[in-house]
Structure 1
């Protein structure tokens, strides 16, 4: 996602063109790139068009890449997907596999099921989304991680009880808790998609932050 600022002289005209990737950065007549003593000097105002925040405080010029926090958002969200959403999908698929064995009266092995459940519960405690840069509003949807894990834990407990007792009440309880967990999962997934799109939109947004004379 990184781009390089390049400057090139235009032969015989003395003009210098500055590019951010493939985009030419525009200048005003009173602030143009110049070559002085064989060195190229670029107005700081040009860097604003390259998504660099420019701040002048007395004699100190500060430059800050305003896009970095949105790239960080994408990294955080990707980790959340790998650590929670993907494990939920695997857990739910393994649950379906166990149910299939129950229906067909085959031997049931819950080792993988319980292993995935423990990972999901542990990852729900630390979903890793606290470092997200806020865009528009707080991503409250991510607060459902603990609820989702607890609901699925309840569902699995009811399923295990059903395997031991063959009590249909336990099977109904399993279906009810699993439904709740899936609803919480959908809230989390929708928030994940929403913040992915917001972060991408902000990263691609073209705006000037500060104009320096």
Structure 2
């Protein structure tokens, strides 16, 4: 089965601006790079180097051979739809959309996103259970899937699976649940 793992990431100066009250620009960019490298490393350990792609304007210091998909510039949902469409053209059978801010992700977490029934959509929620930190989509079955990142995206993505008539799995894993969005998330990460 051919898969792509797509990791959306903003330009370095635009990443994690909600952390500005707790971190200076260089500290924030360093944290983003650390989390991105952890996420990419876990994904590559499972899928290989050429099947892990960044979606955005910058590689954030990763090697030049890191595949980079262009962001059409209309927000995260449009960017992921563009990546999905590119994956379909390349005859990809499973697309995993993986957040870049998962500091404790491990290869087993990525493997769980791949190891789902062929026609199923899998979602890894955030710690609160309301956000979406990872999505695993079967292609081409999920070609009309509408990305719904934003408030309560977990429920919205579950509804999308139901709309398409595709089985839905919720993957609750610590390495996929802890994302860093607010200053208190950093403290939580350091305590775990």
Q: By the TM > 0.5 criterion, same fold?
A: no
Q: Who wins on radius of gyration, i.e. which is larger?
A: 1
Q: Name the structure where helix makes up a greater proportion of residues.
A: 1
Q: Identify the structure with bigger relative contact order (alpha carbons < 8 Å, sequence gap 6+).
A: 2
TM-score normalised to structure 2 length: 0.23
